Amino acid sequence: VRLLNLLIDMYAKCSSIESAVAVFQSIERPSRHSWNCLLVAYIRCRCLAEAKATFDHGMPQRCVISWNAMLSAYATAGRVGSAGELFGKMPATSIASWNAMLSGSVHNGYCFDRARAAFFDRAPERNTVGCSILVAAYAARGDLRSARCVFDRMPEWDIVSSTAMVQAYAGAGRLEQATKEFQAMPQRNLVSWNALVAVHAHHGDTAAARAAFHRMPCHDVLSWSTLVLACARGGGGDARLVFDAMPQRDVVSWTGMMQALAEAEAMDEARAAFCRMPQHSTVAANVAMQSYVRRGELGDAVRLFQAMPERSPVTWNAMVSGYGQAGLMDQARATFDATPSRDTVSWNALATAYYQCGRLGMVEATFSRMPSRG
C-alpha cells in the first residue's frame, strides 16, 4: 500500500491524473494516507471540483493534512476567500495551515500588512517556511529593509530563505550583498544557482551570469534559458551559441533567442525564430510586438496585435504605450478603454501617453481618475 501511495504521488507530479486514480482504485483497502495522496493528486492536476468532492464526501476521514491540502488548493487558485472560510472551519490547524493562508493572501493582493498580522504575527508558531514566504514577498515588493528584518530575526536559515534573501538584495540593486549572501548559504541547489544566474542576467552582466552558470554543478532548462536571456540582454551576440548548445529548449529559450535577434536588428531571423517556435505563447507575441514598437514599425505591431489569438493584460498595456510613443493619442485612449482588466500599469501607460502627446491636463486628470496607488 505504501508503494502504491508513492506511485499515486509520482503520477500526480507528472500531472497524469488518470494513472493516479487508477492506482488508487487498485488499492483494496486505502489508508487515510492513500486518500490524502488521491486528494493531493487531484489538486496537483488542477481538478479542483474532484478534489472538493473527495474532500467533502469521498474520504472516510480527514486529517490536518487533508485540510491543508484543500487550503493551499484554494489559495494557489487565487480563491483566498474560500480558503479563509475553510480555515475558519478547521477543527485543528498546524503551522502549514497558517503558512498556506499567509502565502495565499500575500500573493493575492489583499492588504499585505493585514495578511502578515493575521497569519504570521498572530500565528501560534512560526518556522522557516513562513519566514521565507515573507522574505520572498518583501523581495518582490522591493522592500529590502523589511526582508532583512524578518531574515535577521530567523532562528535558523535554510536554502530557501537564503535564496529569497539573495533575491531581496538583488532586487534592491545590492549586487555585492546578494553574492555575499549566496556564498554564505548553508548549501546550494539548482534553484539557488538558477536564481544567481538570473540575478546577473537581470542586471545585464552577461559575464557574471556565464561565470555562475559554469560554476554550477548541473543545469536544467531553466538555467540554460536564463543564460540565453542574459546574452540577449547583454547584447553580446552569443545568444545563438548558447541556444544551439542547449540540450533541450522550451518556450522561454525560444522567446529569448528571438528577442536577441530582434535586438541585434536581425529582423528576418527573429521572424523566422518566431515562426519556428514549437509552441506559441502570448509572451512571445508580446515580445515580437514590442520589437516592432521599438523600431517604430507601429503598423506591424498593430497587425500582430490584431492577429493574436490571445491577449494578456501586458499585450493591451504595451499597445497603449506603443500608440502613445507614436503620438497617436486617440488610438491609445481607445485601446485603453477596450482593455478588459486595467491594472496600475495600464493607468500609468495612459498617463504617460498623454504626457508624450503633450496633453498635460489629461495627465493630471488621469491620475485623479486612477483607482488607487502607483
Partner RNA sequence: CGACUCCGAUGACUCGUC
Binding status of residue 132 toward RNA by CB under 7 A = yes
Q: How many residues bind RNA (CB under 7 A)?
A: 81
> What is the amino acid identity at position 69?
A
Nearer to RNA, 107 or 113 (CB): 107
CB of 273 to RNA, least distance (A): 13
Q: Which of 328-349 are b and which e, b meaning 16 or more Cβ less than 10 Å from the residue's Cβ?
A: bbebbbebbeebeebeebbbbb
Any idea which residue has 508580446 for its cell?
286
Residues within window 82-121 making contact with RNA, judged by CB under 7 A? 94-97, 99-100, 102-103
Cα dihedral 116, 119, 122, 128 sign: negative
Q: Which of 21, 59, 86, 133 binds RNA (CB under 7 A)?
A: 133
CB of 201 to RNA, least distance (A): 6
Q: Which of 4, 65, 77, 370 binds RNA (CB under 7 A)?
A: 65
Residues within window 2-31 making contact with RNA, judged by CB under 7 A? 2, 5-6, 9
Q: Which of 117, 344, 360, 365 binds RNA (CB under 7 A)?
A: 344
Letters for 159-198 (x = contact with RNA by CB under 7 A, - = none) are xxx-xx--x-----x---------------xxxx-xx--x
CB of 320 to RNA, least distance (A): 7
Nearer to RNA, 140 or 237 (CB): 140
Nearer to RNA, 22 or 304 (CB): 304
Nearer to RNA, 4 or 237 (CB): 4
Q: Are 289 and 321 in contact (CB under 8 A)?
A: no
Q: Are 75 and 92 in contact (CB under 8 A)?
A: no
Hey, what's the cell of 51?
478534489
Residues within window 213-272 making contact with RNA, judged by CB under 7 A? 221-222, 225-226, 229, 250-253, 255-256, 259
Identify which range of 45-53, 267-275, 278-286, 362-370 contacts RNA by CB under 7 A: 278-286
The CA distance from 157 to 95, in Å, is 17
Identify which range of 18-26, 51-59, 155-163, 295-303 contacts RNA by CB under 7 A: 155-163
CB of 283 to RNA, least distance (A): 4
Nearer to RNA, 237 or 312 (CB): 312
CB of 19 to RNA, least distance (A): 16
CB of 68 to RNA, least distance (A): 3
The CA distance from 289 to 355, in Å, is 22
Query: Running DSSP on this structure, what letter comes out for residue 57?
Result: I
Residues within window 282-301 making contact with RNA, judged by CB under 7 A? 282-284, 286-287, 290
CB of 347 to RNA, least distance (A): 8
Residues within window 33-52 making contact with RNA, judged by CB under 7 A? 33, 36-37, 40
Q: Which of 17, 59, 147, 201 binds RNA (CB under 7 A)?
A: 201
Q: Which of 345, 359, 367, 370 binds RNA (CB under 7 A)?
A: 345
Q: Which of 82, 105, 179, 315 binds RNA (CB under 7 A)?
A: 315
* 3-state SS track over 197-264: HHHHHHCCCHHHHHHHHHHCCCCCHHHHHHHHHHHHHHCCCCHHHHHHHCCCCCHHHHHHHHHHHHHC
The CA distance from 146 to 131, in Å, is 11
Q: Which of 202, 203, 271, 359 binds RNA (CB under 7 A)?
A: 202
